[in-house]
Amino acid sequence: MLEDLKANNRAWAKRKIAADAGFFQRLESQQAPKYLWIGCSDSRVPANEIVDLDPGELFVHRNVANLAPPQDANYLSVLQFAVDVLKVEHILVVGHYGCGGVKAAVDGKRRGLVDHWLHPIREVNHDHRQELESISTGHERHNRLCELNVIRQVRNVASDVFVQDAWARGQTLSVHGWVYSLHTGLINDLDVTVGSLDEAERLV
């Protein structure tokens, strides 16, 4: 079963060792990533690959439409571990243009459980309806909603108590909002970086 994947894995491990004999031994003892990636589950947006980082360099949390909901125990567990234990220096909230989750949130079709998951995006859509309605094409409107969703999630992360406590005790930590283009393979930095309690205050 899945022999092709197992063969891929053996070839990959071999390449890694050929390039750096101690690669796996070093990682086995500890991980010390500087970055937490909060991204979409979409198969076209593979976290490590896009920013060309090795295993051990990126702590990753992915879900449908890259949400950071303050009541989600999975996301909160990842966030707390990343901030309190790993002491990552950067949290990257990474959306992508053409996100199916963002589309599904506002197309009015019923899909079941995921409609509840996507509820925060309908709130973003509602809060920014004036700006969004002024955009003439559906494609551009959708892409702007992808950006606005990332900005909202940056705000969620920056207002979280784990992050706020880290800033209060002087820990170096920044939260960034990026959107990845499936079309070009490039990241667009939305320039909404928050790196202190003061900046978080201004954002809200």
Beta carbon nearer to Co ion, 40 or 166: 40
Q: Which is nearer to Co ion, 167 or 178 (CB)?
A: 178
Q: In terms of Cα–Cα distance, which of 170, 177, 161 is closest to 196?
A: 170
For the window 147-166, what string marks contact with Co ion as x by the rule CB under 5 A? --------------------
Least distance between Co ion and beta carbon 98 (Å): 8
Q: Which is nearer to Co ion, 97 or 167 (CB)?
A: 97
Nearer to Co ion (CB atom), residue 40 or residue 154: 40
Contact between 99 and Co ion by CB under 5 A: the answer reads yes
Distance CA 143, CA 140 (A): 5
- Asked if 33 is part of the footprint of Co ion (rule: CB under 5 A), the reply reads no
Establish if 101 lies at the interface with Co ion (CB under 5 A): yes
Burial 72-101 (b: 16+ CB within 10 A, else e): beebbebbbebbeebebebbbbbbbbbbeb
Which region, judged by CB under 5 A, interacts with Co ion, from 100-108, 126-134, 138-146, 192-200? 100-108
Cβ burial, residue 62 (10 Å; 0-12/13-18/19+): middle
Of 71, 65, 49, nearest in space to 161 by CA: 71
Task: Identify any residues that bridge with 188 across adjacent strands, giving them in sequence order.
Answer: 179
Active-site annotation, residues: 40, 42, 44, 96, 99
Interface pick for Co ion out of 35, 38, 39, 40 (rule CB under 5 A) = 40
Question: Which of 35, 36, 37, 42 is the binder for Co ion (CB under 5 A)?
Answer: 42
In the region spanning residues 119 to 148, those forming contacts with Co ion, defined by CB under 5 A, are none
Q: Which residues pair with 163 in a beta bridge?
A: none
Which region among 95-103, 123-131, 134-142, 193-201 touches Co ion (by CB under 5 A)? 95-103
The sheet carrying 174-180 orders its strands as 58-63, 35-40, 90-96, 174-180, 187-189
**For Co ion, the closer CB: 101 or 120:** 101
Beta partners for 90? 35, 174
For 168, residues 6+ apart whose C-beta sits below 8 A from its C-beta are 197
User: Under the rule (CB under 5 A), what is the footprint of Co ion?
Assistant: 40, 42, 99, 101
